[in-house]
């Protein structure tokens, strides 16, 4: 279902949950689409079929629902440039084959959950991209949990434009990870 670049207004219709074998949901660049995700996503008929969800450049708000972790076939998730708040749910790491999580340009707080890294490390060998840049993430001691450094195929880790990160201690990460992760921002926030 591709509904990009329209002038839709209001929340995502609750009836979307009845789309039984939905593989792709692209609803991008609709600045007047607002509301929360959890109302339409819970109990969706496509929990086991959705491969790609791109809902960027809208006005969606509220916390990210923990039920994102129940989308068992999800490979790519892009919720960037919305108004999501609260913390990143640890359940995102529970999606068995997820390859990309892009959450940049929201109002997310807290840190990158260490559980996200440890779950992805244990169960997912295809995870390549985590982009949480442009939020209000703070972290605790270090911006990057050491658990993320152990994800086997991680290629991009974008954490820039989180002002609090600049004042935190840079974590030491393995040379192996430093050589694999290709983003300049990664080097800014780590001791490579």
Q: Do strands 107-108 and 83-86 pair parallel, antiparallel, or not at all (unpaired)? A: parallel
The answer to whether 48 and 78 are in contact (CB under 8 A) is no
> Which DSSP symbol is given to 69?
G
The answer to whether 102 and 78 are in contact (CB under 8 A) is yes
Average pLDDT estimate for 167-188:
52
Residue 41's SS3 state is: helix
Q: Write out the DSSP string of 83-151.
A: EEEEPPPGGGGG-TT--EEE--SSEE-S---HHHHHHHHHH-S---EEE--SS----SS-SS-GGGGG-
pLDDT in tens, 14-48: 788 888 888 999 999 998 888 888 755 666 677 88
Residues 6 or more apart whose Cβ sits within 8 Å of residue 87: 63, 108, 109, 110, 111, 113
Of 148, 160, 190, give the one whose Cα is nearest residue 172.
190
Give the pTM: 0.84
pLDDT in tens, 91-121: 888 888 889 999 999 999 988 888 777 777 6
pLDDT in tens, 44-103: 677 888 999 999 999 999 999 888 888 889 999 999 999 999 999 988 888 888 899 999
């Amino acid at each position: 279902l591709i509904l990009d670049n329209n002038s839709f207004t209001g929340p995502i219709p609750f009836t979307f949950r009845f789309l039984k074998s939905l593989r792709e949901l692209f609803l991008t660049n609709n600045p007047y689409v607002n509301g929360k995700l959890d109302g339409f996503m819970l109990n969706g008929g496509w929990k086991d079929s959705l491969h790609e969800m791109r809902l960027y450049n809208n006005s969606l708000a509220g916390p990210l629902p923990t039920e994102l972790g129940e989308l068992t076939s999800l490979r790519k998730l892009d919720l960037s440039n919305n108004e999501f708040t609260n913390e990143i749910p640890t359940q995102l790491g529970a999606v068995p084959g997820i390859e990309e999580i892009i959450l940049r340009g929201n109002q997310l707080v807290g840190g990158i959950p260490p559980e996200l890294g440890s779950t992805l490390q244990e169960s997912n060998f295809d995870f390549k991209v985590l982009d949480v840049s442009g939020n209000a993430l703070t972290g605790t001691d270090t911006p990057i949990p050491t658990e993320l450094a152990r994800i086997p195929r991680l290629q991009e880790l974008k954490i820039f434009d989180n002002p609090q990160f600049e004042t935190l201690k840079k974590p030491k990460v393995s040379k192996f990870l430093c050589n694999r992760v290709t983003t300049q921002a990664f080097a800014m926030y780590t001791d490579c």
